[in-house]
Amino acid sequence: MVVLRDVTAAKLTEKQLIHAQKMEAVGTLAGGIAHDFNNLLQAIQGYTQLLLLHKPKKDPEIGKLRKIEKAANSAGELTRQLLTFSSKIESRLRPLDLNVEVKKVQKLLKRTIPKMIDIELCLDDNLKIIDADPVQIEQVLMNLAVNARDSMPEDGKLIINTANVSLFEEDTRSHPEAKPGDYVLLTVSDTGHGMDKETLEHIFEPFFTTKGTGKGTGLGLSMVYGLVKNHNGHIECYSEPGNGTTFKLYFPEVKKVVDKDPHRQKSASPLGGSEIILMVDDEKYIRDIGEEVLSKFGYTVITASNGESALKIYREKQAEISLIILDLIMPGMGGRRCFEEILKVNPSAKVVIASGYAADGLSKEALAAGVRNFVGKPYDFNQMLEVVRKVLDDD
């Protein structure tokens, strides 16, 4: 007796699961590295900005300091891309018509992509609404378009499609990251030189690139991967050598549209104050920089190196402290636990979370629990001063 069983589907599912687990592990590693690197950048960027504050406008050293600041900003952009890949960066989601964003990007592409490459749109007139960050959707489209351009050095065609699709249980078996449901599908295709199977297995990994030295960081597609994950979607790629490449991006359809687009006004200049602020961070240089900047604008700053000492200080000086800037990731009592304990002492305490992770899962939970705002690391001092003043002025 001979028993035959086709295990093709099972093998494919196993391969996809292993890949998903690998990407999750790489994302965790990348997020941890980016967090620590952000702390080091804080010292470089922070002390540079402090030196610039004290220098007269005609000082010959200002030019050199500006170059250091520019390099630190560029390094900060790399860490933001890593955090994007690891799904630890903030997305400002609102109801969005993907067709509108595609048409906006098409106008940009016509000015940046060589004229011998045709751009073709095929958009569904009855496209459903998605919950998305328009800036990040533009980043996704621009990154995919730039990759398509690089694969068509002579000439070719870039095709962008949108459509409403439904995924069923059988559709998601070979893609563990996908879930059944109704989606808006964004497809970006090119007629370029394509990729082989080995390359396809690595395209979303940070710093993987097939381009020559100095022609790319290898973070473009990893950032696309992270942004799609941030939007609760998933991405697939199909390619063959000589037959071009197709990316399929699935974004969950919004069933009930609620306008969540805040009309925020940015203050003209950061304002100081005279309140007492408790700054909690396990890195001494970050505490020192924060204390110096806030003090320069009139605030009195008390510092704490960990959650335990911060809680002790707050219990003793609760009536005097107007605001707490709390690092999210610290050894011992972390920021989340410290925040919970502070709320037990004073449920109306004004707490601002500081984190290189921006709005990761812990931060979102903290926001729901009563955190007033966030400041990203490395600190942009103008932004930090604006957040501090805004939170202090809120009733």
What are 26-38's pLDDT values in tens digits? Answer: 666 666 666 677 7
The answer to the question of residue 124 being in a domain is yes
β pairing state of 321-327 and 276-280:
parallel
Q: Over 60: is that where the pLDDT of 10 sits?
A: yes
Mean pLDDT of the residues in the chain:
80
**Which two three-digit tokens encode residue 80?**
């933001």
- Residue among 326, 336, 342, 332 nearest 362 (CA): 336
Domain count, the chain: 3
Residue found by looking up tokens 């969950």 in the block: 252
Confidence of residue 20 (pLDDT cuts 50, 70, 90): low
Residues 80 and 104 in one domain: no
Residues 218 and 130 in one domain: yes
The answer to the question of residue 178 being in a domain is yes
pLDDT digits (tens, 9 = 90+) for 367-386: 566 788 888 776 777 778 88
Q: Over 60: is that where the pLDDT of 268 sits?
A: no
Residues 68 and 112 in one domain: no
* Range scoring the smallest mean pLDDT among 73-87, 198-212, 215-229: 73-87
Confidence of residue 362 (pLDDT cuts 50, 70, 90): very low
From CA 201, how far away is CA 348, in angstroms rounded?
Answer: 50
Over residues 179-183, mean pLDDT = 88
Whether 389 and 271 have beta carbons less than 8 Å apart is answered as: yes
Whether 322 and 350 have beta carbons less than 8 Å apart is answered as: yes
Residues 287 and 243 in one domain: no
Q: How many residues does the chain have?
A: 395
Residues 144 and 242 in one domain: yes
**pTM, 2 dp:** 0.53
Residues 287 and 371 in one domain: yes
Greatest Cα pair distance, the chain, in angstroms, is: 92
The answer to the question of residue 237 being in a domain is yes
At 340, phi and psi to the nearest 5?
Answer: -60, -40
Residues 81 and 102 in one domain: no
Residues paired with residue 183 on neighbouring β-strands, in sequence order: 165, 252
Q: What percent of the chain has pLDDT over 90?
A: 24
Residues 240 and 388 in one domain: no
User: Cα angle at 101 between 100 and 106, to 5 degrees?
Assistant: 100
Residues 244 and 389 in one domain: no
Over residues 359-363, mean pLDDT = 45
From CA 54, how far away is CA 69, in angstroms rounded?
Answer: 15
The answer to the question of residue 267 being in a domain is no
What range defines the domain where residue 100 resides?
94-252
Residues 75 and 175 in one domain: no
Distance, C-alpha 88 to centroid of its chain: 6
Q: Which helix (H) or strand (E) holds 249?
A: strand 245-252
- Residue among 43, 28, 47 nearest 283 (CA): 43
Return the SS3 of 285.
Answer: helix
Residues 376 and 314 in one domain: yes
At residue 275, the pLDDT reads 93
Q: Over 60: is that where the pLDDT of 217 sits?
A: no
pLDDT digits (tens, 9 = 90+) for 106-137: 888 888 788 888 999 999 999 999 998 888 88
The answer to the question of residue 199 being in a domain is yes
Residue found by looking up tokens 């967090």 in the block: 35
From CA 197, how far away is CA 241, in angstroms rounded?
Answer: 9
Whether 31 and 357 have beta carbons less than 8 Å apart is answered as: yes
- The two counts, helices (H) then strands (E), for the chain are 12, 12
- CATH label of the domain that carries residue 52: 1.10.287
The answer to the question of residue 268 being in a domain is no
Confidence of residue 342 (pLDDT cuts 50, 70, 90): very high
From CA 15, how far away is CA 30, in angstroms rounded?
Answer: 22
At residue 265, the pLDDT reads 46
